[in-house]
């Protein structure tokens, strides 16, 4: 790989994220937080520094396809109807189309493709399950769920980290992978103790 390439990718990724976040205030900061939580989770799981950086980049870019989703749907202050939900789900396909020229990102694209897949096959876009889901995709899924639930959205207020972990625990074994959830919990607890100490 050309030495300038990883840097060019990171700067270009940041540009894309800025474009997406300029579009919607509720997405502002989400990508950065998911990148950060996902990378820490990957680290706690003992993954290599290269994979940790791939997970971080995928976290930053995971929702890039939301650029292609209508604002009226993204900002809707109530539950989505089936057509609107189908439109939101399309952000995964749109994201991969946007990123197609960056094929050299390899596994990063697989992680993004899998960020809404679930352990029991109840996710999208492919409905794959278990081991068929890339490890990075499983990590993004827990980080994304945690951040989505702890952030304020158009349709509801935020929950605390503790409430969110309690809720997510009820999804372990069905939609969330136990080992990845345990690692996320360690990351959240470590941060909470740092806040207390600080």
Judged by beta carbon, residue 21 or residue 63, the one nearer Fe ion is: 63
Task: Take residue 41 and report the two structure tokens written for it.
Answer: 């989770």
Q: Toward Fe ion, which CB reaches closer, 105 or 140?
A: 140
- For the bound state, the minimum distance from the C-beta of residue 73 to Fe ion, rounded and expressed in Å, comes to 13
Q: Is-catalytic flag, 152?
A: no
When computed from its CA atoms, the radius of gyration of the chain, rounded to whole angstroms, is 16
Coil, helix or strand for 198? Answer: coil
Nearest CA to 62 out of 28, 108, 22, 19 is that of: 108
State the minimum distance, in angstroms, from the CB of residue 5 to Fe ion.
Answer: 26
Task: Considering the candidates 23, 66, 76, 152, report the single residue annotated as catalytic.
Answer: 66
Find the shortest distance in angstroms from Cβ 31 to Fe ion: 7
DSSP readout, 4-54? THHHHHHHHHHHHHHHHHHH-GGGTTHHHHHHHHHHHHHHHTT--HHHHHH
Select 51 or 91, whichever has its Cβ closest to Fe ion. 91
Summarize as ranges the residues that interact with Fe ion (CB under 5 A): 63, 144
**Active-site annotation, residues:** 66
């Amino acid at each position: 790989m050309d030495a300038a390439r990883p840097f060019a990718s990171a700067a270009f990724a940041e540009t894309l994220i800025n474009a997406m976040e300029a579009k919607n205030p509720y997405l502002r900061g989400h990508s950065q937080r998911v990148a950060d939580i996902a990378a820490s989770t990957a680290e706690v799981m003992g993954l290599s520094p290269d994979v940790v950086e791939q997970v971080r980049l995928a976290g930053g870019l995971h929702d890039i396809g939301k650029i292609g989703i209508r604002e009226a749907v993204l900002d809707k202050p109530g539950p989505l109807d089936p057509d609107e939900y189908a439109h939101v789900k399309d952000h995964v396909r749109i994201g991969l189309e946007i990123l197609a020229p960056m094929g050299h990102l390899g596994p990063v694209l697989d992680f993004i493709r899998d960020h809404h897949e679930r352990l029991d096959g109840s996710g999208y876009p492919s409905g794959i399950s278990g081991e068929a889901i890339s490890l990075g995709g499983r990590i993004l899924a827990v980080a994304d769920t945690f951040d989505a639930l702890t952030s304020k959205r158009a349709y509801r207020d935020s929950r605390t980290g503790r409430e969110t972990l309690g809720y997510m625990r009820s999804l372990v074994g069905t939609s969330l992978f136990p080992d990845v959830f345990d690692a996320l919990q360690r990351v959240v607890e470590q941060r909470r103790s740092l806040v207390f100490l600080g």
